[in-house]
Chain A
C-alpha cells in the first residue's frame, strides 16, 4: 500500500474513498476516524450476517463486538493475502459456528428463524427471509456470504476449503433454489 506519509503517520486520501486496508493502517496509527469509516461500511452487513447465523439478537451483538474488535486488534492481517472484508466475514463465520456448537440442537433450530427485529416490517423483506429460511443450510450460507458479505467465489472457496468451480456451481444452484422459493411465496 502506498500512502503519503508525514512523520511516519499515514494520511487518508480525502478526495477518494479510502480502501479498508488504508483505514486499518490509519486506525493502527491511532486515527479513530478510520474506525468510524470501517464501522459504517460493515455495521449492517456484518451484524445482519451474524444475526442470521446465531438467530439471537443479544448474542449477535456480543459476537459482533468481539469479532470486530478482535479483527481490528489482530495484527496478523496481511492485505497481500486477501481483502479485509473476506477476512472479517471468515472470522465472524468461525465464531458463529463455534457459538452454535455450544448450543443445544433445539436452539440451533431456532437460529433458522431469527426473532423479529426492529428492522422487520416490510412484507418483501419478510418474504425474502422466508424464502432463505426454506433453503438448505449450505445454500443459505452461500447466498449470505455472496450477497451480504460480498465475497467473491474465490474467497468463499478459500473459506470453505473447496474448489472455486464447486462454489460456482453451488451458488448457481442456491440462486435458482432461492428464486424458486421466492416465487412460491408469491413474489
Chain B
C-alpha cells in the first residue's frame, strides 16, 4: 500500500494516536521516512499532542499516597499462613545458599576430630618418631676408619 502526501496527512492524527491498522501504519511510516515536509508536519502534530499529557499530568500530595497505601495494606494484608508461605516461596540468593552451606563446614572444622588426633600424636604416639636415629655422633672427631693412617 502506498500513500501520497494528502493521504498521509489525512491519516496522521490516527497514526499519532496509534489507531491505524498495521498495514496502513506501515505505509504512513514509509511515506514519512521519505517525505521531509510530511515528516515535519507530523512531528509538530505529535509534539502538540504529547504536550496535552505532559501539561495535565500532576501528582497528588504525598499524604494521599500514604493514606491510600495504609488503606490498601489494611484491606489486602494476607493472613499469617499466607505470609509464611510467601516467605518460603521467596527465592534464596546464591550468596545466601553458599553461606548456608558454609555453616556446617565451619562447624566441622571447628570440632574436627583430626585436630584431636594430631594433638594426641604430638603428645604420645609421635614421640618415638622424633628420637634421633644416630647416637654419639661427633662431627669434629676424625673418622675411626682413618685412625691407623693418621
Contact = CB atoms under 8 A, between A and B. Distances in A.
13 contacts: A9-B82, A9-B85, A9-B86, A32-B76, A51-B58, A117-B58, A119-B59, A153-B19, A168-B19, A171-B13, A172-B13, A175-B13, A179-B48
B89 A48 contact: no
B75 interface: yes
Contacts of A47: 58-60
A187 B55 CA distance: 14
B76 A30 contact: yes
Interface residues of A, number: 56
A152 interface: yes
B77 A7 contact: no
Instruction: Name, among B58, B64, B82, B85, the residue most crowded by chain A CB atoms within 10 Å (CB to CB).
Output: B58
B57 A72 contact: no
Interface of B: 13-14, 17-19, 45, 48-61, 64-65, 67-69, 71-73, 75-78, 82-83, 85-86, 88-89
A45 B57 contact: yes
Given A7-B88, A144-B56, A182-B48, A69 B72 contact: yes
A175 B110 CA distance: 77
A72 B69 CA distance: 11
Contacts of A8: 85
A175 B49 contact: yes
A7 B55 contact: no
Given A32-B69, A44-B58, A119-B59, 16 more contacts: A9-B85, A11-B89, A27-B76, A30-B77, A39-B65, A44-B59, A65-B71, A68-B68, A69-B68, A72-B75, A125-B51, A126-B55, A146-B17, A147-B52, A175-B13, A175-B45
A124 interface: yes
Contacts, number: 125
A65 B67 contact: yes
Contacts of B67: 65
Contacts of A153: 17, 19
A169 to B, nearest CB: 10
A64 B60 contact: yes
A178 B51 CA distance: 11
Contacts of B88: 7
Instruction: Name, among B48, B49, B55, B86, the residue most crowded by chain A CB atoms within 10 Å (CB to CB).
Output: B55
A73 B53 contact: no
Interface string A20-39: 00000001111110011001
A125 B17 contact: no
A179 B82 contact: no
B103 to A, nearest CB: 26
B89 A43 contact: no
Interface in A97-122: 117, 119, 122
A41 B149 CA distance: 109
Given A43-B60, A179-B45, A7 B89 contact: yes
Contact of B72 (A27, A147, A150): A27
Nearest to B79: A30
